[in-house]
Amino acid sequence: MSTLRALRAVLCVYAVGIAVALAQLLRRLRGDFRPPVLPPQPGRVAIVTGATAGIGRSTARQLARLGMCVVVAGNDEHCGQEVVSSIRAEMGSDRAHFLPLDLASLASVRGFARDFRALGLPLHLLVNNAGVMLEPRAETEDGFERHLGVNFLGHFLLTLLLLPALRASGAEGRGSRVVTVGSATHYVGTVDMADLHGRHAYSPYAAYAQSKLALALFALQLQRILDARGDPVTSNMADPGVVDTELYRHAGWVLRTVKRFLGWLVFKSPEEGAWTLVYAAAAPELEGVGGRYLRDEAEAEPLGTARDQELQRRLWAEGLRLTGAGGGDSDGVAW
């Protein structure tokens, strides 16, 4: 990627981040930071990816407090078992399980789906939360650029593998839900179908923004497919905002300095960042409602490109090709 294009990607991502952080600061100063009030969710089962730390951990805990049984999915077993132990201590021994999941490995994604089926549980909620951000260029074990592979393709395959369970668990008036975690950086993202993996030109900022736009395209196309089939499942996106987590470890020194000294004021805490995810997962007013982009526990408008149906279809087809899920298989892909 040329120096000018790389610089543009950096400036665009930072501009979006600053705008969101300032909006959060104003909201905090107005006293508007309040968690959503949601009804109990007894008997429902949720999977949260990346639930061993940060927003995912807070989401898992909040869902458990609503009465859900939560499957903590992550690639750090020690941290995962800690989350499970804390939920069980607070809520009861049947409220949490840990299953290993490395979204940088399609084999691990398939193994997770098999492990989940072996638990014999229904599935009412899938929260596609895990991700990487602003990493130097590297590839997953399957040869995908890591932002695209972890953030998008891993969740793409996982969702397809779990759709049969989501369909089977949904019912009229009490459907299942897929919640995909978005980011305002998708507003400055572009999907380069000719070079999705950044092999010819690479910027970590452009790669991250591309992966988040890819997730928006995926979530909206998924809802179109669910509608066409009449499935009792909805697909929405939830943007947590700018949140104080370890994802910023690859960011530039200016942002890391701001986060260190002013994070408590302009960043959301992981607990606050999880509110929109939990709202998308459990709000009664979203029953049967899909294809929405949610931010600050309210509906927002995604980038217009995210609604490009032709691009949605092209990216979906490429996802099927790259993950090998195009024609169904013994692992239960049935989209």
CA distances to 180, 316, 332 from 162, in Å: 14, 17, 8
Could you give the CA distance from residue 32 to residue 297 in angstroms, rounded to a whole number?
11
Could you give the CA distance from residue 227 to residue 258 in angstroms, rounded to a whole number?
44
Could you give the CA distance from residue 291 to residue 307 in angstroms, rounded to a whole number?
10
What 8-state DSSP symbol labels residue 101?
-
- Pick the catalytic residue from 14, 202, 205, 208: 208
Known catalytic residue at 208: yes
> Under DSSP, is residue 22 helix (H, G, I), strand (E, B) or coil?
helix
Could you give the CA distance from residue 258 to residue 253 in angstroms, rounded to a whole number?
9
Report CA 143 to chain centroid distance, whole Å: 21
Strand ranges for the chain from DSSP E: 45-49, 69-74, 96-100, 125-128, 176-181, 233-239, 293-295, 298-300
The answer to whether the beta carbons of residues 253 and 272 sit under 8 Å apart is no
Could you give the CA distance from residue 179 to residue 181 in angstroms, rounded to a whole number?
6
Phi/psi at 42 (5° precision)? -65, 145
The answer to whether the beta carbons of residues 277 and 129 sit under 8 Å apart is yes
Could you give the CA distance from residue 217 to residue 199 in angstroms, rounded to a whole number?
22
> Under DSSP, is residue 94 helix (H, G, I), strand (E, B) or coil?
coil
Pairing of strands 125-128, 45-49: parallel
Catalytic annotation, residues = 208
